[in-house]
Structure 1
Amino acid sequence: MNKVTIIKGNDRYEILVSKYKILFGENEDIKFDIARTLERYFKKIKSSEYGEECNNKPLVMLNDKEVNIKNNMFFYVHKNYSLTSDFKLTTQSLIFKYLETVLSDDLFIDLINTINILFESLSQEITEQSILSGSFSTMIPKQLLKFFSPLYLDEEFFKDEYDLSIEEIILLQLKMIKYIAENNKVIDSVYVYVDTPYLTTQIMKIITEINHVIILISSNESSFDSDIKNYYICERKFFDLSSETDVYENICDNGLTLITLKEGLDNMKEYIFNKSGSNVELINKLIK
Structure 2
Amino acid sequence: MNKLTIIKGNEEYDILVSNYKFLYGNNEDTKFDIARTLERYFKKIKPSEYGEEYHNIPIVKLNDKEINTKNNLFFHVHKNYLLSADFKLTTTSLILRYLETLLSNDLFVDTINTINILFESLSQEIADQSVMAGSFTTMVPKQLLKLFSPLYLDDDFFKDEYDLSISEIILLQLKMIKYIAENNKKIERVYVYLEVPYLTSEIIDNIKIDNIIILISSNDTFFDLDMSNYYICERKCFDLASETDVYENICDNGFELLDLKEGMSYMKEYLFNKSGHNVDFIKKIIK
TM bucket, shorter chain: over 0.9
Shift of 1:90: 2.4
Task: Give the share of equivalent positions with the same residue, in percent.
Answer: 74
- Aligned-CA RMSD value: 1.2
Matches within 5 A, 1:149-228: 149-208=149-208, 210-228=209-227
Shift of 1:89: 4.8
Q: Which amino acid in 2 is paired with 1:251?
A: I
1:56 aligned counterpart, secondary structure: coil
| Corresponding residue of 2:46 | 46
| Corresponding residue of 2:86 | 86
* Number of residue-to-residue matches in the alignment: 287
1:51 aligned counterpart, secondary structure: helix
Runs of 5+ unmatched residues, structure 1: none
TM-score, normalised by the number of residues in structure 1: 0.96
Query: Is the Cα contact below 8 Å between 2:73 and 2:190 reproduced in 1?
Result: yes
Shift of 1:88: 2.4
| Corresponding residue of 1:71 | 71
Query: Is the Cα contact below 8 Å between 1:5 and 1:15 reproduced in 2?
Result: yes
Q: Which amino acid in 1 is paired with 2:109?
A: I
1:149 aligned counterpart, secondary structure: coil
Distance 2:89 2:217 in 1: 24
Distance 2:164 2:136 in 1: 39
Distance 2:150 2:91 in 1: 15
| Corresponding residue of 2:148 | 148
After superposition, the C-alpha distances for 1:93-134 in whole angstroms (9 at most, x for unaligned) are: 211111001111122122111101101111111222234322
Query: Is the Cα contact below 8 Å between 2:100 and 2:142 reproduced in 1?
Result: yes
Q: Which amino acid in 2 is paired with 1:258?
A: L
Query: Is the Cα contact below 8 Å between 1:79 and 1:169 reproduced in 2?
Result: yes
Query: Is the Cα contact below 8 Å between 1:84 and 1:150 reproduced in 2?
Result: no
Distance 1:207 1:186 in 2: 20
Query: Is the Cα contact below 8 Å between 2:232 and 2:240 reproduced in 1?
Result: yes
Q: Which amino acid in 1 is paired with 2:286?
A: I
Distance 1:206 1:185 in 2: 19
| Corresponding residue of 1:277 | 276
2:68 aligned counterpart, secondary structure: coil
Which range moves more in the overlay, 13-22 or 139-148?
A: 139-148
Query: Is the Cα contact below 8 Å between 2:7 and 2:58 reproduced in 1?
Result: yes
2:136 aligned counterpart, secondary structure: coil
Distance 2:263 2:101 in 1: 46
Q: Which amino acid in 2 is paired with 1:263?
A: E
Query: Is the Cα contact below 8 Å between 1:120 and 1:135 reproduced in 2?
Result: yes
Distance 2:131 2:84 in 1: 41
Task: Judging by fraction of residues, say which structure has more helix.
Answer: 1
